Structure 1
Amino acid sequence: MNEQHSDQITADLAIVGAGMVGLALALALALAPSGRRICLLEQRPGDSETWLEQLAEQPSQHYDPRVSALNLASVRLLEQLGAWASIQNQYRACAYRDMKVWDGEGSGRIHFSADALHEECLGYIVENSVIQAGLLQQLTRYDNLQLLTGIGLKQLSAPHEDGSRLLELSDGRRLSVPLVVGADGALSRTRQLSGVGATEWDYGHHALVTTITTEREHGETCWQRFTEDGPLAFLPLAGDRHKSSIVWSTSPEHARELMALSDDAFRQALVRASDECLGGVLESAERKLIPLRQRHAHHYVETGLALVGDAAHTIHPLAGQGVNLGFMDAAALADVIEAAWARGEAIAEERVLRRYQRQRRSANLCMSAAMESFRRLFAPQPAPVRLLRSCGMNLMDRLEPVKQHLVLQAMGLSGELPQRLQRQVT
């Protein structure tokens, strides 16, 4: 529920940031039988009803340029929270059944197929605003969940003797809670105020995103070409089989050149860069540019503090795993907190919170390292390296067991998953 302004705020846990990951964590904890009070702080003004109305007022042909490639573990979490039914029935989500990846500077190709895995799909392409709307709709189900909007975090105290933290809010109010969770994005104010350091560097890439209409249907397929400047992805959208979202990661100089082009010249550049995989590009919406940086917090937890999602880590979008890692963080932390509540443990204790860090930090570091390796592998290389790269891609495409192992992990069907997201074997 949305909480009106009052002098006193009481809660058993505070989450800073009501984006996709913060909302998912709040709802997962609100579901717990403990009935603990959860306070969700969001700097954006307004309320959930207004945000949902604004989305409903958008014409059906309007698409959010920011999309996520949800794997099946993330979908399982959204199902448990009640959000997935809303996303599918009231909004839209596009299941993709194939993924075709090729080397634009060589002859290497890999094709991933849901049919080969005997699965209905590999995942879903969903607009970020739609995911958030599906989660927002669930807020009214819980009286123990407060959403406070238009409020930022001004100060965060060191832990008190009992491990609790004092939050000073931008409207002058204070909130003392056993645990504060930072889910407030890559430039996390929570992380900064807590003094938790992060290793970060510039990828040397900007991501250009927009929505396009193509001559040929997308065929429920994700298309990704590694160009000389960076990866270009066509991601299928629901509602119109000729609509796709593009994510073009390229050098800052090339990105600025693309942004400066006329719509017609940009569409022609897009056709050339994509090897005409979907024919001509007939229409393109407004383009947006997102600078890309890698970040990883030195640690995710301290006494009375935990970081999740982009507040803890950001990675290159070339494999579309960013939001999935955030949802896995939310599910793992919810598992740890619920178990601690059930055992009567203090959730502020660092030894308790380290259970979450042990689950997620190594997995996130491995994914970050893999994305960095791919990025470097497909950077401009001498001809012999390009030849080896293409041979390696073609070999992997023929090694079905290896390929299936990789894609099952990306789909969230294997590997170390939070307990609540593990697939039940029947």
Structure 2
Amino acid sequence: MSNTNLDVAVCVVGAGPVGATLACRLGAAGLPVAIVDRAALPPMEHPDFDGRAYAIAASSRRLLEAAGVWSHLPLPSCPIEGIRVSDGKPGQPASPLFLHFDHHEVGEPFGWMTEARSLRVALNATLHAMPAIVVAAPTEASVTRTDQAAIVRTTDGRTIRAQLVVAAEGRESPLRRQAGIAVTRFGYRQAGLVCAIAHTKPHHNHALEHFLPGGPFAQLPMAPTEGAPHLSAIVWSERDAVARKLMALDDTHYANEIQRRLGSHLGDIRLVGRRWLYPLSALHAHSYVATRLALIGDAAHGIHPIAGQGLNLGFRDVEALAGLLTEAHAGGTDLGDPELLRRYQAARRPANLAMLAATDLLDRLFSNDNPALRLVRDLGIAGVHRMPRLRRAFMTAAMGGGRS
């Protein structure tokens, strides 16, 4: 396409799960939207299973339903109906002091495990199905922002005029850097290990969060896939050097290391799909907004995965920003209005900063083998288990705020 001029309300740069969901949510509300990404976004694709999955909180599912995405998922999602929280060491029985969350106490599952490939297919299909959305991909974008408008020029010849540009390009956001927005960063000297396992016993839709000296170890229930009637995602953290050694193991020995941490309650296990390694760090932007610009998702914040809330925080950004933009559009307000953007920042930045602080504290408290701290956290876990009102408060927070 060449020499095409477009006028839209919002241009989203970055079509990852958060940026694409925002475009779909705005498109579903009738706002004219453009989404730009350097990668191709075919409406239909059939990638192989690769072991990656997302924990979609209850509030995030409602957002995806409102955006028209959930109904396009080509593969079933698995509800998370129970979560067991425990403490221990690899190869040893877990502490007898534990915390159990049961979905019956809150009336719905805590969330749903959705394969990454399934969400990608659903997002791409929804983007192409909505008449209010223009997809510009694959292409590179350059953005000029003024008090009057934002102009996005793409390498495939489009000129897009928008009231607001949304940066959703991830942690190294070029738009954030171009706007001169500073970030605070710190590393954890840990790496995240991600894979999927098939096991011989059913998981009964229950998840495990097991705190170990090297970092948290999570088993998350997944829907069956071909050749694996009982399937779970594994996400765990280790010190960098240990993680590199683990990744060098063959599949059999790697599975043995998972079994040492998981225990025997799911029976024998084997790896399914690929293994992944991610360095762990945190960042937070000093501002979420600039002239005709808003940051969402990883462009604005990144946290330790200890609580599994990274993507869901991005979805909460989408929910807040989409609500404000939809209301403003209906009232004829300029979507780049500085007061509107300040309201978005006030709604999301303090909450995200609080979650960053909480996950950082949890990692420091649980990712160590100090006997005194182990006793304190074991007693804390057991204490919450015995306090129904506090337990329900934790469950509601994990769900993203419960029912809306």
TM-score by length of 1: 0.88
The counterpart of 1:100, out of the listed 71, 79, 84, is 84
- Between the aligned partners of 2:372 and 2:131, the Cα distance in structure 1 is 63
**Which residue is 1:69 aligned to?**
55
Q: Helix, strand or coil for the counterpart of 1:39?
A: strand
Relative to structure 1, is the Cα distance of residues 267 and 127 closer, same or farther in structure 2, using a 3 angstrom cutoff?
Answer: same
- Between the aligned partners of 2:250 and 2:140, the Cα distance in structure 1 is 39
In structure 2, list runs of 5 or more residues that go unmatched.
90-94
The counterpart of 2:14, out of the listed 14, 17, 29, is 17
**Which residue is 2:92 aligned to?**
none
**Count of residue pairs the alignment pairs up:** 396
Query: What is the identity percentage for the equivalent residue pairs of Structure 1 and Structure 2?
Result: 33
**Which residue is 2:395 aligned to?**
407
**Which residue is 2:211 aligned to?**
226
Deviation string 1:52-100 (CA, Å, 9 cap, x unpaired) is 2333xx4xxx3x322111111111111112222222xx31200121011
Matched, 1:42 2:41: no
Note the 1:233-382 alignment, pairs <5 A: 233-239=218-224, 240-382=228-370
Matched, 1:81 2:56: no
Q: Helix, strand or coil for the counterpart of 1:15?
A: strand
Q: Helix, strand or coil for the counterpart of 2:84?
A: strand
C-alpha deviation, 1:280, in angstroms: 2.5
Matched, 1:156 2:153: no
C-alpha deviation, 1:107, in angstroms: 4.4
Q: Helix, strand or coil for the counterpart of 1:285?
A: strand
In structure 1, list runs of 5 or more residues that go unmatched.
415-421
Matched, 1:112 2:106: no
Q: Helix, strand or coil for the counterpart of 1:12?
A: strand
The counterpart of 1:145, out of the listed 122, 127, 133, is 133
C-alpha deviation, 1:241, in angstroms: 4.5
Contact 2:28 2:68 in 1 (8 A): no
In structure 1, what residue type is equivalent to 2:29?
Answer: A
Relative to structure 1, is the Cα distance of residues 338 and 200 closer, same or farther in structure 2, using a 3 angstrom cutoff?
Answer: same
Note the 1:163-174 alignment, pairs <5 A: 164-171=149-156, 173-174=158-159
- Between the aligned partners of 1:78 and 1:91, the Cα distance in structure 2 is 15
In structure 2, what residue type is equivalent to 1:43?
Answer: R
Contact 2:150 2:165 in 1 (8 A): yes
In structure 2, what residue type is equivalent to 1:369?
Answer: A
Matched, 1:193 2:171: no
**Which residue is 1:419 aligned to?**
none
C-alpha deviation, 1:181, in angstroms: 0.2
Q: Helix, strand or coil for the counterpart of 1:287?
A: strand
Matched, 1:179 2:164: yes
- Between the aligned partners of 1:263 and 1:171, the Cα distance in structure 2 is 43
- Between the aligned partners of 1:191 and 1:174, the Cα distance in structure 2 is 21
**Which residue is 1:385 aligned to?**
373
Q: Helix, strand or coil for the counterpart of 1:48?
A: coil
Contact 1:97 1:220 in 2 (8 A): yes
- Between the aligned partners of 1:72 and 1:385, the Cα distance in structure 2 is 32
Please, what is the CA RMSD of the aligned residues? 1.9
In structure 1, what residue type is equivalent to 2:194?
Answer: V
Deviation string 1:2-39 (CA, Å, 9 cap, x unpaired) is xx444434323210011111111111111224xx4211
C-alpha deviation, 1:125, in angstroms: 0.6
C-alpha deviation, 1:303, in angstroms: 1.9
- Between the aligned partners of 1:282 and 1:309, the Cα distance in structure 2 is 33
Contact 1:196 1:297 in 2 (8 A): yes
Deviation string 1:274-308 (CA, Å, 9 cap, x unpaired) is 23342322344321111111111111111200011
Higher strand share: 2
C-alpha deviation, 1:210, in angstroms: 1.0
Matched, 1:398 2:386: yes
TM-score by length of 2: 0.93
